[in-house]
């Protein structure tokens, strides 16, 4: 586990903060751990809709981007001004059971100026439950920042 406050790297709070801990982070990849609760968005009684995996990948991606910013200026923006597109998404479950522990990896595949493309995957007990390619545009930054 990385001893760094997640809130320094991502803007999510309350019910929308799905990442419980950072397992690994560097300039190209982040790995997070999350435990599904009945307070999560898209909860359907005993589980959550798998679309939440896209959000897990987005938050884990924000950890990598925030980490790079933290190393650069010690004041990461926490993801403000981001526009996110979902290029692809595949899910292996109809519902993710409450109390499942999810490991999510997000890897930067390509970056240029204020655009980044990331590949993410989430697993439960080592079994793939979903993967997605996200496109991130930093609307609040110019190419020279």
The Cα–Cα gap between 43 and 35 comes to 13
Per-residue pLDDT tens digits of the chain, which is 145 residues long: 566 666 666 666 666 789 999 999 998 999 999 999 999 989 988 999 999 999 999 999 888 877 777 777 655 555 455 678 999 999 999 999 999 999 999 999 998 888 889 999 999 999 999 999 999 887 665 444 4
d(CA 39, CA 45): 10
Q: Which fold has domain 6-138?
A: Thiol Ester Dehydrase; Chain A (3.10.129)
Q: What is the pTM of this model?
A: 0.84
- In whole angstroms, give the CA distance from residue 23 to residue 129: 19
CA 54 – CA 60 distance, rounded (Å): 10
5 closest CA partner among 28, 17, 116, 106? 17
């Amino acid at each position: 586990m990385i001893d760094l406050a997640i809130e320094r790297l991502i803007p999510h709070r309350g019910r929308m903060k799905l990442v419980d801990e950072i397992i690994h982070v560097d300039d190209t990849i982040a790995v997070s751990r999350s435990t599904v609760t009945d307070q999560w968005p898209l909860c359907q009684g005993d589980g959550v809709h798998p679309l939440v995996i896209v959000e897990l990948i987005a938050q884990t991606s924000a950890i990598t981007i925030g980490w790079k910013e933290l190393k650069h200026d010690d004041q990461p923006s926490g993801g403000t001004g981001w526009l996110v597109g979902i290029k692809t998404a595949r899910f292996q479950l109809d519902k993710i059971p409450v109390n499942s522990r999810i490991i999510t990896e997000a890897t930067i595949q390509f970056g240029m100026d204020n655009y980044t493309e990331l590949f993410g995957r989430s697993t439960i007990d080592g079994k793939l439950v979903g993967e997605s390619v996200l496109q991130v545009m930093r609307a609040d930054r110019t190419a020279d920042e």
